[in-house]
Chains A and B, each alone.
Chain A
């Protein structure tokens, strides 16, 4: 809430339930529209909300502008991951990926364009899809999650081309190394694996927890976040947030962040990370903490940079996590306002 409401509002059953829902909401994923004006956010109840960034950022913005334009039930389970192509919003949650047309998404009663489920091995439990990655050169989508495999789906035909096996525990995050092209995946097993898409083979493995500089056994060995800059990779999670040189598989910088990080990204000459704790952390490549900007959620799970060329006025950083709010940073120095479910 923007204001603290201390007096008791006469709440009926419906209102109490909705208030509790919002209190326990977690926003897992965000995605910016191709035009750059809208932001999609997916939460743990399977809902997707579309916010109008342009309306919220305009000078006549009122309280309603910070509310979603539409909210719809996209999945049965939580929406862990979303990406946008130039026309579609792809969302993934419990075991399947759905596609929505950005052009249609603002209309009421919008239906998914298609939904696909990768071929799973186990039938006892439907594995979640934690990460989606677009490979523009191949026009394919890579899905990874609970079944410890990376699935590659052709976006035109919708067929699953290959499955990359190697992780021993479920996969948290994916990153694309543009030049090669290679896909990096980080998982619960504590390893970052590099895959060659053409050969469908694992080319490199970095077991982060085995390196003493960064391992933090009391947090566990899981790799929660990955980002790559072709030569460099930064990853974090249970172990400390570390910058690696990929060719040599050596950790070059360990960022002194105690809390496990859940999202990390390269931005200009900075590394932005967020995780447990309220703040969005800005790091220099040297390992120095440039700034810590507090957000409104007690823990952050996703960061999104709106760098769409079509909407330069909406160039903002949005952060979301363990609350129903999406923090908007127009300037990396402070939180401007928050959008809310």
Chain B
């Protein structure tokens, strides 16, 4: 601090040399060289050791003087003041010396510092240089290593192998003589060649790209052309609809049908395809249509979780409501039954048109869980039919198709596997449900291509086209024959109920001109009643009187003679003949048990029926049989030998021309009518 203050003071007081203040520096610089007292220079001259000795001596003197002063002051005296003053002046000189010494010390210090500082600066500079150089060395070294590590891009390129290169490259690039020796040149040459090739390929690539673009554009154009074609075709089709109708070639309709047909279950599909094919190929009177809801059919294939969720929801809901509303076991079973007997929503409808404009409408259904098909039938006629009482069952939908093939009564399910399913839900037989579901006839299954072999039950029965095709024609023909024969019978029954046997003109030759016996009654009887009759036991025993047949009673009279005829009408009429059993009440009761001639009469109508068939399709069989019965009764009554013991004339005079009245060991009457001669003879 003191040095600082002295430093501060120094320039102010003595400054004519050395370091003046800044303000004065420039002014006094010019004067410096000649004539100022430089303390710095003095410092260099003096020896710091001697200055130190001086300093020590001065301090001692000062201390001594101070002590003398002290002594003088303490003894007090008048002379003291002069001696004190003397000593004081000497101390002041000493102080001056001290000051100078101090100054010198400071100057020395400063100089020393300056020198150190300079040296230090130099060292620093050198240090810095060193650092720089080191740094540069390092940098250069790094550069060197970098350069050494440098991989030229050209090494990444897969150049063609040397042999290939020399083979393929043109000589102006390969420059064999130069490059062989010099790897650098070689590499260069190779790179050149690579570049060359790449350029060429790039060229090709560009060309191909442009080609591709062209072709793409062409494709686009063509696609557009085609897509524009579709709406045009549609419009043509629309336009052609009226033409189609005019020409009776409903392609559009057929197309729509085929669309719907895709949703049919396999057996119905088989039926549809085969029936359509048959209708187109062989039988123009057959028309096929699909009925039902396609949406429901599509809905059948929805994933089952949806429906199950719904079910469980609804179940939960139901349980939440009162306990009374929970379905009872019976109702649950009923629902299960309904579920088992569920029909597919689509059905195939076949319409068979017959010659007299009557139509047989057949609707085929598919029971999904049971894998069988059923059919419902309906017959419509061109004109309204008045049904005679006895003809009630002839055209009823329940029985009109019964036994189309022998034994095919359609009351039992044809699929043996169904029995197990039925046991689960308590269905005894399908018979209870046929009115609602339709009849599962065997021929219906065959038309759907379903075959259920009895001997080897199969696990899954799939619909087979060939089975359907092989049965189609026969079945269609049988169906037509069936409808027509039933309709013919219908008409005939109306006439029979009025007591007239309608014999057509082309069958008149079978009978003599005059027939006296008359049909007075024609009624239908029940199966059980037929079985109870006493004169039908033979037929019952033979097994010809089953419950699929229709039974009738005819009554023929002449005079006092009454002939009862019980008739079995097989559903297969007219290929299977009706069977007559007779009972004659005249002079006692005569049946085939006690009268050979009654037996012969039965034989005439039952066994010799082929003569009575009439022109095909032999719808006249029944009426001819009845007419023949009347003729036979006539012959029987007229040829009865007269009992001589009884008085009076014969009740029935012989009007028939007969060669002989009796023949053979059984004494048969002449029942055979000969045309055109008109006489009766024996067989």
Contacts and interface: CB of A to CB of B under 8 A. Distances in A.
Q: Say whether A and B bind each other.
A: yes
Interface of A: 1, 4-13, 15-17, 19-24, 26, 28, 77-78, 80, 124-125, 128, 130, 146, 170, 172-173, 188, 217-218, 220, 222, 224, 262, 276, 298-299, 301, 322
Contact of B540 (A6, A26, A173, A218): A6
A10 B412 CA distance: 14
Given A16-B570, A130-B665, A322-B599, A125 B546 contact: no
10 contacts: A11-B576, A12-B576, A23-B538, A23-B606, A146-B663, A170-B660, A172-B665, A217-B643, A222-B662, A298-B592
A11 B665 contact: no
Give chain A's interface secondary structure class.
loop
B519 to A, nearest CB: 22
B640 to A, nearest CB: 10
A172 B541 CA distance: 33
Interface in B488-506: none
A26 B665 CA distance: 11
Interface string B525-551: 000000000000011111111111100
B579 A1 contact: no
B662 A170 contact: yes
A125 B542 contact: no
Interface string B597-627: 0010011001100000000000000000000
Contacts, number: 119
Given A6-B540, A8-B546, A26-B666, A16 B607 contact: no
A15 B575 CA distance: 12
B663 A11 contact: no
B683 A28 contact: no
A125 B659 contact: yes
With a 10 A CB-CB cut-off, give which of B542, B549, B665, B682 has the most chain A CB atoms: B665
A8 B641 contact: no
B546 A20 contact: no
A217 B645 contact: yes
Identify whether the interface residues of B are mostly helix, strand, loop, or mixed: loop
A1 B666 contact: no
B681 interface: yes
B542 A1 contact: yes
A301 B542 contact: no
B345 interface: no
Contact of B665 (A4, A77, A301): A301
Contact of A11 (B544, B660, B681): B544
Contact of A222 (B541, B542, B593, B667): B667
The 8 closest A-B pairs by CB, nearest first: A8-B546, A10-B407, A5-B543, A24-B603, A217-B645, A12-B406, A298-B593, A10-B406
B34 interface: no
Contact of A20 (B408, B575, B607, B666): B607
B500 to A, nearest CB: 27
Nearest to A77: B683
A149 B683 CA distance: 21
Contact of A24 (B545, B594, B599): B599
Contacts of B570: 16
Contacts of B665: 28, 80, 130, 172-173, 224, 262, 301
A259 to B, nearest CB: 9
A16 B544 contact: yes
Interface in B626-683: 641, 643-646, 659-660, 662-667, 681-683
B662 A188 contact: yes
Contacts of B599: 24, 26, 322
A12 B544 CA distance: 11
Contacts of B592: 298, 322
B542 A78 contact: no
Interface string B569-593: 0101001110100000000000011
A78 B646 CA distance: 34
A301 B665 CA distance: 8
A128 B641 CA distance: 21
A322 B596 contact: yes
Given A24-B599, A28-B665, A80-B665, A8 B660 contact: no
Given A8-B547, A13-B575, A217-B645, A19 B542 contact: yes
Most buried by B among A8, A15, A128: A8
A312 B489 CA distance: 59
B660 A23 contact: no
A262 B664 CA distance: 11
Contact of B602 (A4, A21, A24): A24
Nearest to A26: B666
B596 A5 contact: no
A8 B663 contact: no
A339 B38 CA distance: 183
B388 to A, nearest CB: 26
B664 A80 contact: yes
A16 B664 contact: no
A63 B10 CA distance: 171
Nearest to B539: A23
B543 A8 contact: yes
A21 B546 contact: no
A80 B683 CA distance: 13
